[in-house]
Every structure is written in C-alpha cells, then in structure tokens.
Structure 1
Amino acid sequence: MSGAPVPTTIPVGTDYDVVIGAGVLDRVGDLLGDDVERVLVVHPPTLPELTSRVAAALEAQGYAVHLAEVPDAEAAKTAEVAATLWAQLGRAGFTRTDAVVGVGGGTVTDLAGFVAASWLRGVRVVQVPTTLLGMVDAAVGGKTGINTAEGKNLVGAFHPPAGVLCDVDVLSTLPGADLVAGLAEVVKCGFIADPVILDLVEAAVADDPDRARSAANPHLRELIERAVRVKAEVVAADLRESSLREVLNYGHTFGHAVEQVEQFSWRHGEAVGVGMVYVAELARLTGHLTGPEGDALVARHRSVLESLGLPTTYPAGRWDALLTAMRRDKKSRGSTLRFVVLDGLAEPTRLAGPDVALLQAAYGLVSRHADAPAH
C-alpha cells in the first residue's frame, strides 16, 4: 500500500464533491455518475500527458472518449470556440445523459462548463483543474462563462458540476508565476473568511520565501483545502450569487477592470491582488476600516501579497478606462457599482454606489509609485 495521504472530499452542499489529493487523476470516471456513454474531454494544447492520462482512465472504464483541443488561456473563452465544441457534440451524437470533462486551467473549465450548460439545456460536467487558480476558484462553484469584447464572463450560466477532481501532484509542473497568481485567490479566502490561511502563508514566507511561492510549499495542500472549504460553504448557501456569494468577488471588480484594460495580458491573480489592495483602501476611505486596526489590515494586504511576489500597485493615468470597465461589471446593478469590502478581518460586507470621488481616491492610493505593472 502507498503511504500517500488519503484524498480529502469536500462536499458542496448536497450537489457534488470536490476531491483533493495526490495521484488521483485516474479517478475522474468515478465522478461522472450513471448512464454516461460519451465523454467530450476539453483540453488545451499544453497538457498532452495529463490529457492522455484522463482519456485513458475514462476509456478503461468503458466510456467513448472524444478529445477537443481548444486554445490556451483566455483565447479559449469565445463564442467561436464554444460553437466549435457544440458542433463536435452534435456530430458525435451526444445526448442528455452524456458528459463533458474539462482538463486545464480556469479558462478551460469555464468554457467546458458553459458548453455543458448550454448543450441540450444542460449535460453533466466534471472539472479537472490543473492550475492552483482552477482548483481553488474557477472549477468550484458552478459558474461558467465566456468573454466578449465588452468584458470578461459577460455570457455564462450557473451549472454545478457533477464533481471536481484536484490532483495536487500536477502543480509541480505549473510555471512559478502561474502558481503565485493562484495564491492570490487563496489569500482572498484568508481575508474574507479564514485568517489561518494568512497565518500559514506568512509562516511559509518567513521560513523560506522561494519555497513558499512554489509547489514545494509544505502548507500547499492545506491552503488548497481551506480555500475550497471557504468557497464550498459560501456556494452551498447561495448557488446563484443572489446575496452571500458576492463576498467571493473580493478584489474582483477592480481586478477584472485591470484585466480588461490590459487586454488580458495580466494573469487573473495578479489583477485580483491589486484589486484587493484597492478595496482595502476603499474600505478605509468609506469608514469600514478605521483606527490602528484598520490601518494594520490594509498594510497586511500589501505585505502578504508582496511577500508572494504579487503586484499591489497599478500605473496612474488610466482611471477613465478602469471606471468604464467597472461599470460593465456583471456585479453592477443598473448604474450602481457594487464592491465587497471588509469591516474587519474575515468580516466582509457589500458597498453599493460609493461616491465616484472616493473610488478615484482609492485608485490614487494604489497608483502611487506604480511606474510599471509588477509582474
């Protein structure tokens, strides 16, 4: 028997499970459920070995596997790519009892989920995220979508997966910058719900900064599990983002605007890192964070993110473009901009319709000394 730790199973309400462990990639078929005959495996061109493993595991369990290679990164999340996959499903005769499996980062799982949600008004999807960002954020929660020229994730659907399989072993091949970007979403969960996450990150950095930013981080699996538990608890209580689930968007309104202004040349986690500092400053300006404790919490945003190598500033002179992008954000209500801010550590709340002058002032605080994006 192997001495590998037993996989951790985290339920998302009663809908599905997230399985986290080492060497669990071959268990993908166990999450598909009954009656499935055909499986479309959606994958990027950069993961031939992992895709082959997933396909082989499915074929060994008797599934008819159809492979669908899609572009890497945000280029996958377009209506044109989705239409190509719909055509492939149609040619292969996929029925309502068949399934889609997404293998890759968050862009692939977003796309795969949207295609599954829209084919025959909904077929099963199993997500196999291969990036840290995908494991702790994109693949968990049932939010699917594609981008348009007007903004990110503006077209999509809520479609809970049949299961999510997170094999932490695959993170050893993830480029360092991508792993660090994924840590931004982990840190977010620390600020909004589970401060132990911040303690673990700070301890790892103090022990060995380089190791803390890599797959060799001794706390990495626990960080993943804690972040997934935060998201699972929130999602289970609010499947369609009507109220509580908005807290998971901490740092995202400004972060998504940065991504759009930069034409998606910034990694998602890099943009969210700046976005978290932005809303921390906004919380202070609007009286949600006050006194020495508030100042210390704002400073902690910068110190934790910078210790991981994540950007905390953004160049000046781009306010008009950022504000336009934020007004298009899907979390806006009519003309009212909405932000998640903190009243204290792990005390998130909503801020609706703040004065534009305060929004611009917060931008001034994150754009100081920002001569160039920190990547």
Structure 2
Amino acid sequence: MQTLSINLPQKQYSIMIKKDLLPTIAKHISMNHSNKKIAVVTDEHVDALYGNILMDSLSQQGFLVTKIVVPPGEKSKSMTMLEYLYGQFLDFKISRSDLIIAFGGGVVGDLVGFAASTFLRGVPYIQIPTTLLAQIDSSIGGKVAVNLPNGKNLIGTFYHPDAVYIDPKLLETLPIRVLRDGIAEVIKYSGISETSLFEDLSRYRDEQELLENIHSVIATCCEIKQSFVEKDEKDTGLRMTLNFGHTIGHAIENYFNYETYTHGEAVAIGMARITTRSEALGITKPGTSEALIGLIEKYGLPTTATDYNQKALLESMTLDKKNSTSGLHLILLAHIGKSLIQKVKPDEIHLYL
C-alpha cells in the first residue's frame, strides 16, 4: 500500500492506494472509526458491480450499515437528491459521531461530501472513489458541491474526508468512455506540472498500457494535487491552476444540459480550445497546442464542440466561481509543464473561446 498525507492547518488525512483493497477495506476503516454505524451512498452502476463486496466487508467487521443507492450521472448532483439523502440519514438515525461513505465516482463524491458537510452541521465521511477521475482528482482536496440549473457546483463548500481509499482494480470494469473521462484529468495534470507525466502518456501505446502503469499514474496525480491543496486549501490563488480547461468545460457541460459531453470530454475541449487561443494571442509557446491536442486525440477525447451559441456559452462562463466584477481568472499554459493564471477583463473573455 502506498500512502500520501494531506496536511492542512485544521485537517490531516491519508490517501491510501492499493490494488484489490476493497474486500478488506473495513479493517482499515475500523482502525480510525470506532463508532459502528455507517451509511454507504453509491450509485446504481457501482452498486451492481461492487456493492455486495463493500457491504460484506463492513458487516464482517461488525459495522451496522445501511446502503443508499442513487441514479448515476450528473443530474444526481441536485438539491432534490440532496434532500433525499438527508431523509435517508434521518431514517437511519445518523449522528455526528457516525460515518458516511461516498462510494462512487465524482458525482457521488461531490454530492455525498456536501451532504455530510451540512447534515447535523457536519458528519465525518470517507471517499472510496471508483473512477479514474475521482481517484486522481475529485475525491481529494475537500471541494464538495451540488449543481443548480444555472451552472455546475454553484452550491458548495470545502469539507475534507477523513480518508481516501483508492483501489486501482476497480478501474478494470470501467466503460472506455468513463475511463477516458479520467484520462482527460491525467492530461490536465501533465500539462500544468513539471513531471514526466506528459512524456509517459505520449509513450504509452494506448489505454491498456496506461492501465498497466495505473498505480504510478494515480500516485503522480495525487502528489500533484496534494501539493496544490496544501499550498492553497481554499482555491484563492495557486490551486486555481487545477482548473485548467474547466472554465470552458463547465460551460460546455451546462450548455448541453449534461447530456452531450461528459465532464472529461468537456474539459478536454476546454484545454484544447483555450490553449489554441492563448497560443494565437502570443501567451503560449508555439507548438504547445499541437502537442496537447495530439495527446488528447490519442486517447479518443474530443477537442472541439459543435453546434453551440458562443454568446450563450460566454454567459455561462461568467457564472464561473473564479469570476469577479473585474474579470475572470483563466488558467493557461506557458508551455507543457508550466501554467499561469491570467486575469481576463469581462470584455476580453470572448478572445479565449
């Protein structure tokens, strides 16, 4: 098992990475949580594949467990589903000394984390992420939220888990499109950080070879995120760098009502578009967009979105949480491995679309 530690002024927790961890995970949980009552929240897809394994592990360790299953997909990150979880927690009589488990991808992690942060003013929770995107990104760093019809993650807070347990074996059953969703975030990390990750991704023949090296890929991404989170927990400065591709990406997701493009696909489009534009504006080193787009396309991800209204997309971007009355913070690449935060005036944002 490889263990990383997130060390913040008011919270410390571990990220544990081990293949085939799930069947024995309850033993690790019991070392840190003495109370016996646990509410597991998962989605229908994960429950069908792994629900019984987790529930059996927890029951055999003596925990009193209930399982709450929600529909898969971005639309579950809603106020309606949040209220449903509150009702289920009340029925199970969850207290502030009990535990909630988010067992799923990024949607489940964000939804459950926000529910845990607000129910009874805060109940401890842990993350067991089941997708590559969640394992390397959304389960780490404490950002939890639900969506509004106007945009993504507009109702949220910072609430860190007590632990993150990552089992790379769970990725073996991911549909290729969901796997590529996470690869988009891996590409993001490779673009913004001075590591060998970009070269590694370029060297791998395909997704299968990437999976053969997945433990190293996950660990590298987690280390990068650990560094940014510890330096800027509340996302007011350096941590914004992790949003490379996301400002346009979130706007695309919202514009298409979360039905046409997955999160990773939208981020891939966002990375490609903003880097092409920043290179044309003379901010980014020539050749960077070609290299980035080549890597994105290698892993079967889109680089352009069709049939959208630029004005509507621009309006969606202005709802971004990094926006202010004086402009929007956009994350650009100076070159592969080097990022920068660019403050863009409201009347100049269209130049990056």
Which interval holds the TM-score relative to the shorter structure?
Answer: over 0.9
Q: CA deviation at 1:317?
A: 5.0
Q: Is the 8 A contact 1:179 1:214 kept in 2?
A: no
Please name the residue that 1:24 is paired with: 21
The residue that corresponds to 2:130 in the other structure is: 130
The match for 1:8 is: 2
CA displacement 1:194-227 (0-9 Å, x = unmatched): 441111111113xxxxxx2247632222111111
Name the SS of the counterpart of 1:94 in structure 2. coil
Task: Provide the residue aligned with 2:250 in structure 1.
Answer: 256
Moved over 6 A (4+): none
* Residue number in structure 2 paired with 1:218: 212
Cα distance change, pair 315–356 in 1 and its aligned pair in 2 (3 A): farther
Percent identity of paired positions between Structure 1 and Structure 2: 29
Is residue 271 of structure 2 the alignment partner of residue 276 of structure 1? yes
Displacement after TM superposition at 1:343 (Å): 2.2
Deviations 1:31-58 (A, max 9, x none): 4623322111001111224121111111
2:146 is matched with which residue? 146
Report the 3-state secondary structure (helix = DSSP H, G, I; strand = E; otherwise coil) of the residue aligned with 2:323: coil
1:278/1:56 Cα in 2 relative to 1: closer, same or farther (>3 Å)?
A: same
**Structure 1 stretches lacking a partner, 5+ long:** 1-6, 206-211, 364-375
Confirm or deny: 8 A CA contact 2:332 2:339 kept in the other structure.
yes
- Which residue of structure 2 lines up, in the alignment, with residue 333 of structure 1? 324
* Structure 2 alignment gaps of length 5 or more: none
Q: Is the 8 A contact 1:327 1:335 kept in 2?
A: no
TM-score by length of structure 2 reads 0.93
The whole-number CA distance in structure 2 between the counterparts of 1:355 and 1:328 is: 12
- How far the C-alpha of 1:361 sits from its partner, in A, is 4.1
How far apart, CA to CA, are the structure 2 residues paired with 1:220 and 1:27? Answer: 21
Query: Contact between 1:98 and 1:124, CA under 8 Å: does it hold in 2?
Result: yes
Counterpart CA distance in 1 for 2:72 and 2:54 is 18
Residue 109 (structure 1) aligned with residue 103 (structure 2)? no
Q: Distance in 1 between matches of 2:137 and 2:326?
A: 28
Q: 1:344 to 1:350 in 2, by over 3 A?
A: same
Q: Is the 8 A contact 1:195 1:345 kept in 2?
A: no
Residue 292 of structure 2, aligned match among 281, 293, 301 = 301
Change (3 A) 1:178 1:194: farther
For 2:335, the aligned partner's letter is G
Query: How far did residue 27 of structure 1 move?
Result: 4.2
Q: Tell me the TM-score normalized by structure 1.
A: 0.88
Residue in 2 that maps onto 1:46: 45
Q: CA deviation at 1:354?
A: 4.0
Paired residue total = 346
Please give the secondary structure, in 1, of the residue aligned with 2:160.
coil
